[in-house]
Amino acid sequence: MILLGVNIDHCATVRQARYRGYDQTAPGPVEPDPVALAVLSERAGADGITIHLREDRRHIQEHDVWRLKAVAKTRINLEMACTPAMIDFALKVKPHSVCVVPESREEISTEGGLDVVARRAQVKACIDAMNAAGIITSLFIDADAAQIDLSAELGAPWIELHTGSWANAWLTPRRPAEFARLRDGALRAHAAGLMVNAGHGINYDNVAEIRTLPHVRELNIGHTIISRALSTGIEEAVRELKKRMNP
Residues 76 and 213: their CA atoms lie apart, in Å, by: 24
Burial class (CB in 10 A: 0-12, 13-18, 19+), 27: exposed
- CATH fold of 3-245 reads TIM Barrel (3.20.20)
- Chain-wide mean pLDDT for the chain? 95
Smallest CA-to-CA distance from 123 within 65, 165, 164, 80 is with 80
More confident position, 22 or 170: 170
Half-sphere exposure of 99 (CA within 13 A, CB side): 33
200 given a catalytic annotation: yes
Residue 35: pLDDT above 70? yes
Residue 106: pLDDT above 60? no
pTM of the predicted structure, to 2 decimals: 0.94
Share of the chain above pLDDT 70, in %: 97
Q: Where are the domains of the chain?
A: 3-245
pLDDT of residue 29: 80
More confident position, 156 or 23: 156
Q: What is the mean pLDDT of residues 105-128?
A: 83
Catalytic residue (choose from 10, 52, 59, 162): 52
pLDDT of residue 111: 63
Residues 228 and 221: their CA atoms lie apart, in Å, by: 12
Catalytic residue (choose from 10, 42, 59, 79): 79
Catalytic residue (choose from 103, 162, 200, 218): 200
pLDDT in tens, 176-234: 999 999 999 999 999 999 999 999 999 999 999 999 999 999 999 999 999 999 999 99
79 given a catalytic annotation: yes
The answer to whether 9 and 61 have CB atoms below 8 angstroms apart is no
pLDDT in tens, 158-175: 999 999 999 999 999 999
Share of the chain above pLDDT 90, in %: 91
Which band of pLDDT confidence, cut at 50, 70 and 90, is reported for residue 247?
Answer: very high
218 given a catalytic annotation: no
Smallest CA-to-CA distance from 136 within 73, 75, 207, 201 is with 75
Other Cβ atoms within 10 Å of 94 Cβ, number: 14
pLDDT of residue 28: 75
pLDDT of residue 110: 54
Residues 232 and 189: their CA atoms lie apart, in Å, by: 37
pLDDT of residue 22: 82
Residues 106 and 235: their CA atoms lie apart, in Å, by: 32
pLDDT of residue 103: 74
